[in-house]
Structure 1
Amino acid sequence: MKKVFAVLLLFLLPFHQHAFAVVNPLSVPNNTFGIHIIDEHDLTDAALLVNGTGGSWGYITIVVTEQDRDTGKWQRIFDRMRTLKLIPVVRIATKPDGDTWERPDETDVNEWVSFFNSLNWVVQNRYVILFNEPNHAKEWGGTIQPEEYAHVAKRFRDALKESSDDYFVLPAGFDLAAGNTKETMNASSYFDAMYEADNEIFTLFDGWTSHSYPNPAFSGPVYGNGKQSIRGFEWELQYLFRYGLSEQAPVFITETGWAHEQGQSVKPQYFNTAQIADFYEAAFTDVWTHPSIVMVSPFILNYQGEPFDHFSWRKLGSDEFYDQYDRVKGLQKTAGMPLQINTFVLSTDRIPDTFMTNSFYLIPVVIKNTGQQIWDSTTGLHIQAVGAVGERKLSKRPVPQLGPTHEGIVYIPFKTPEKESPVPLVMAVTTADGTIVGDIVSKMVNIREPQSLWGQIMSYMSEN
């Protein structure tokens, strides 16, 4: 039997029609549980937390600074999230200058776009948050400039959208407890000034980011109401409706949570962790059930020092967690089904031009995963030869387990006809029920009698 080979032929074939536009994450089964992390080494613990007890595809809020735009590092992080079935929500940050974050330079937007475009994101929606609590001077170069924030946010939003409509662009979360002082501005005053600077600013975002903390002093009641409660997002939606923000805007609560008494020093003015575990159970089951909530990521899974040691879910100097971790882990969750872009590259390029009649071959076909999904036994995809003499009578073989950017070989059985003739050998990827997905690739091959083929070989040898 002849040995045949296959190499990669660059035909990009989609599994589904990719519309290049954000998808409402609430239009598919969605796991609202999330957590805020600062270190990729916390991803496994985060996955056990947000995907525990029936869940999958929980959310991770994580920060990328302009000094940390390392494609190799962040692709590794994204690939790890993909394996763990975690959805990244990425907050853009500048760089610190002492205890103050520098103001963004809008001319840096192209660097951000280039960096984000260099990554294979985990799901179709690329969730990006534009900076953090700009109604604090320390978050905006030591100044409070709502007009400038509106301008910069629009500039970044437009650049991301021009690059790809898959960017799901979110505004910064705001400190809803801040007053009008030299260092802070009340959120409503800040929103008013943003609208005065650009009366379309609140219509531009794909959803809303909320820092719905239980105040005052991060110690408010679970069932509190209003701006400074864990229902603060409801106040924001109601207030900003006048400025064009939809009351049904998808809500991302990327920061929330109670301070606990445990830390580098004990602070008895805060609740103990057993009480806080009760609070989180009540919040997730009774409060954060609003139909607009996409995710809730309490702050913070692991912080081993000041100033956030009293928010850390992990105990200081230990691999163990406080009570709220196991309590939230044990809450029933939804198996999320976020949309992922699925594309592949299929090759028939070096299948031989000639085969012998009435013979059996195993044709190796190379397939490369160029999308976002990890293919496994549940994917239900096959490669099948569908075009031999116009009859779909050839065997199919399952696509191997492959992650994005990886390729594998599938051996397709091929029984040649008994008579000489040209045969269109047509390869396609099919679903479990035989439906062809994407385009097909084809190669015309010639079927020859053994004598004729032997004569060709002898003629070639005599001429060379």
Structure 2
Amino acid sequence: MVHQGGPGPPRRATTFDILFIMKHILSMLLVASVFLSQIRPVNAIVDPLSTPNNKFGVHIVDENDLDDAAKLVNSSGGEWGYVTIVIREDERDAGRWQKVFDRMRELKLIPVVRLATRGTADGWEVPTEQDAEEWAHFLNKLNWVVKNRYIILFNEPNHAHEWEGTIDPAGYTKIARHFRNTLKQTSEDFFILPAGFDQAAGNTDDSLSVEIYYRMMYESDPDIFTLFDGWTSHSYPNPHFSGSITASGRQSIQGYVWELQYLAAYGLPQNIPVFITETGWAHREGTTENTSYKPAEEVAQLFQIAYTDVWDDPQIVMVSPFLLNYQAEPFDNFSWKKPGSTEFYPQFSKVISLGKQSGLPIQVDVASVQMVHVITSLVTDSQFFVPIRVHNTGQTIWHSADTSLIVYDEAHKPIGTLPIPTLKPFQT
């Protein structure tokens, strides 16, 4: 069964059906059958735009920023906004990340996870095919927040420092295909996104333009752009992270449109869901003032216009500006939070004030029910109380206001309901 997350209208109440078949005959054994009237979910991704969707998101680097992220993306009517977060291979602690996911579930935040390797003197290590097995094993241990398990396969490989000092489109393509296939074989609920690319990169010793990089990916594997479930875009307002809000094409906040059009010839589906996982203007305020960037007040106004007039495209699933909180160089001019302070730059309050959709992401809703004691004999015309234990094994938080058990008699007629207390996943 799948469930549209969260309590209260217009959400569907969650009901689990219990059937007790009792023969009130002396010396006969009690026959009890307890079952769930739900369909077990089929392992497959769902279209994130098939249900109401809150496209507001934000990029974070620390799980301690989750509460602030929720204040931002779930404000003004919003629920179930998005958070882009990075997990490095040396951080694969299932206990830690399950706590992060559980907190996101409570805050109604949808995780979009970008995979990362380890930093070296030459940049980020190149992942291996063996790494894919280890990532799949780790990621599959987690009870995810929603049915779709959003995974981004690394970051801007058209920069040499993101690929261990090399520019290797064929190598990235091979790794992306292998990771995609390995994750899908582990669970069809993995929603696979490619790396976001730097649209502004030129043809230099340590970078390659996206036009050439995309072409070389296609030449090495003509099906590569048909394999992804969504498209990742780093649609920054360039040049110098200070471009015009009215600009279009590559290197603009509409850069994703250019990417889709350019890649049409290489097989990228033109209706593919779009995830803008990095974007935003740099502001001059920071640990030191950088007057080449726009003032924070102007940046706030630009974000308001962007969300209301540019990123209102129905093909966009989410927009997560970079970066909610970074207290030092090199990203202090991108940080929405002021250095050494609990205060935020003006874009934080400006985006909070924008009206948002109350999202209804699909969640897996599964339970197990067991009898605590089995009664082996009955007395004619007597009443018996049969204690049962209900265990939440899905993704949703059951709230007592909208979750109950229906009790049926032997003729399959409902005879009453039993309340269930609020239960989080894996609680009984």
Q: TM-score under structure 2 normalisation?
A: 0.90
Which position in structure 2 is the counterpart of 1:400? 421
3-state SS of the aligned residue for 1:345?
strand
Identical pairs, percent: 52
Q: Tell me the alpha carbon deviations over residues 173-201 of structure 1, each in whole angstroms, 9 at most, x when there is no partner.
A: 00000000001000010000000000000
Q: CA deviation at 1:100?
A: 1.1
The 1:203/1:305 distance shift into structure 2, 3 A limit, reads: same
1:324 paired with 2:352, answer: no
Task: Pick which of 369-378 and 233-242 moved more.
Answer: 369-378
The residue type paired with residue 197 of structure 1 is S
1:156 paired with 2:179, answer: yes
Q: Which residue, 112, 115, 133 being the options, matches 2:138?
A: 115
Q: CA deviation at 1:17?
A: 4.4
Q: CA deviation at 1:353?
A: 1.9
Which position in structure 2 is the counterpart of 1:386? 408
Task: Pick which of 394-403 and 143-152 moved more.
Answer: 394-403
Q: Tell me the alpha carbon deviations over residues 397-437 of structure 1, each in whole angstroms, 9 at most, x when there is no partner.
A: 12221111111xxxxxxxxxxxxxxxxxxxxxxxxxxxxxx
The residue type paired with residue 103 of structure 2 is R
The residue type paired with residue 423 of structure 2 is L
Which position in structure 2 is the counterpart of 1:66? 89
Q: Which residue, 85, 96, 101 being the options, matches 2:108?
A: 85
The 1:10/1:203 distance shift into structure 2, 3 A limit, reads: farther
Which position in structure 1 is the counterpart of 2:161? 138
Q: CA deviation at 1:99?
A: 6.4
3-state SS of the aligned residue for 2:68?
helix
3-state SS of the aligned residue for 1:355?
coil
Which position in structure 2 is the counterpart of 1:369? 392
Show the 5 A alignment for 1:223-262. 223-262=246-285
Q: Distance in 1 between matches of 2:414 and 2:132?
A: 54
3-state SS of the aligned residue for 2:362?
coil
Q: Distance in 2 between matches of 1:151 and 1:339?
A: 31
8 Å CA contact 1:215–1:228 kept in 2: the answer is: yes
The 1:13/1:196 distance shift into structure 2, 3 A limit, reads: farther
3-state SS of the aligned residue for 1:340?
strand
1:44 paired with 2:67, answer: yes
1:341 paired with 2:364, answer: yes
8 Å CA contact 1:14–1:343 kept in 2: the answer is: no
3-state SS of the aligned residue for 1:347?
strand
Task: Pick which of 246-255 and 350-359 moved more.
Answer: 350-359
8 Å CA contact 2:40–2:366 kept in 1: the answer is: no
Which position in structure 2 is the counterpart of 1:286? 309
The 1:65/1:282 distance shift into structure 2, 3 A limit, reads: same
Q: CA deviation at 1:106?
A: 1.7
Q: Which residue, 70, 75, 79 being the options, matches 2:98?
A: 75
Q: Distance in 1 between matches of 2:290 and 2:233?
A: 27
Q: Tell me the alpha carbon deviations over residues 215-270 of structure 1, each in whole angstroms, 9 at most, x when there is no partner.
A: 00000011210101000000000001111111111000000000001111101111
For structure 1, the 5+ residue unaligned runs are 1-8, 408-464
Give the root-mean-square deviation of aligned CA atoms.
Answer: 1.7
The 1:314/1:10 distance shift into structure 2, 3 A limit, reads: farther
Q: Tell me the alpha carbon deviations over residues 144-174 of structure 1, each in whole angstroms, 9 at most, x when there is no partner.
A: 0000000000000000011111000000000
Q: Tell me the alpha carbon deviations over residues 68-117 of structure 1, each in whole angstroms, 9 at most, x when there is no partner.
A: 00000000000000000000000000010136111112211110000001
3-state SS of the aligned residue for 2:75?
coil
8 Å CA contact 2:122–2:165 kept in 1: the answer is: no
The residue type paired with residue 362 of structure 2 is L
Structure that is richer in strand per residue: 1
Which position in structure 2 is the counterpart of 1:452? none
Show the 5 A alignment for 1:181-330. 181-330=204-353
8 Å CA contact 1:14–1:342 kept in 2: the answer is: no
The residue type paired with residue 75 of structure 1 is Q
Per chain length, whose mean CA-contact separation is higher, i.e. which structure has more relative contact order (CA < 8 Å, sep 6+)? 2
The 1:391/1:262 distance shift into structure 2, 3 A limit, reads: closer
Q: Give the greater-gyration-radius structure (CA).
A: 1
3-state SS of the aligned residue for 1:27?
coil
Which position in structure 1 is the counterpart of 2:195? 172
Q: TM-score under structure 1 normalisation?
A: 0.83
